[in-house]
Amino acid sequence: MHQKAERLKRVKPALKAQVAPELAHRVPAGQTVTERFPILHEGEVPRYDMKKWRLRVFGEVNEEKAFSYEQLMALPQVTQTNDIHCVTRWSKLDTTWTGIRFKDLFQLLGAKPEAKYVMIHADYDYETNVPLEDLMREDVLLAHSFDGEPLTDKHGWPLRLVVPHLYFWKSAKWITGIEFMNEDRTGFWERNGFHHYADPFKEQRYSSDDFELPEDEWYGKDFD
Q: Which fold has domain 2-15+32-41+50-218?
A: Sulfite Oxidase; Chain A, domain 2 (3.90.420)
Question: Tens of pLDDT along the chain (224 residues)?
Answer: 555 555 544 444 444 456 778 888 999 988 989 888 877 666 689 999 999 999 999 999 999 999 999 999 999 999 999 999 999 888 999 999 999 999 999 999 999 999 999 999 999 899 999 999 999 999 999 999 999 999 999 999 999 999 999 999 999 999 999 999 999 999 998 998 899 999 999 999 987 666 565 455 544 555 55
- Pairing state of beta strands 78-85 and 90-101? antiparallel
Cis (ω within 30 of 0) for the bond into 124? yes
Q: How far apart are CA 20 and CA 82, in angstroms?
A: 18
Please report the pLDDT score of residue 24 as a whole number. 86
Q: How far apart are CA 19 and CA 4, in angstroms?
A: 28
Q: Taking the model in full, what pTM does it have?
A: 0.86
Q: How far apart are CA 210 and CA 206, in angstroms?
A: 8
What are 78's strand-pairing partners?
A: 99
Domain segments of the chain as ranges: 2-15+32-41+50-218
Buried b (16+ CB within 10 A) or exposed e, 48-82: eeeeebebebbbbbeeebebebeebeeeeeeebeb
Q: How far apart are CA 51 and CA 69, in angstroms?
A: 8
- Whole-angstrom CA distances from 183 to 42, 122, 179 are 28, 20, 11
Distance of CA 4 to the CA centre of its chain: 17
Q: How far apart are CA 196 and CA 186, in angstroms?
A: 7
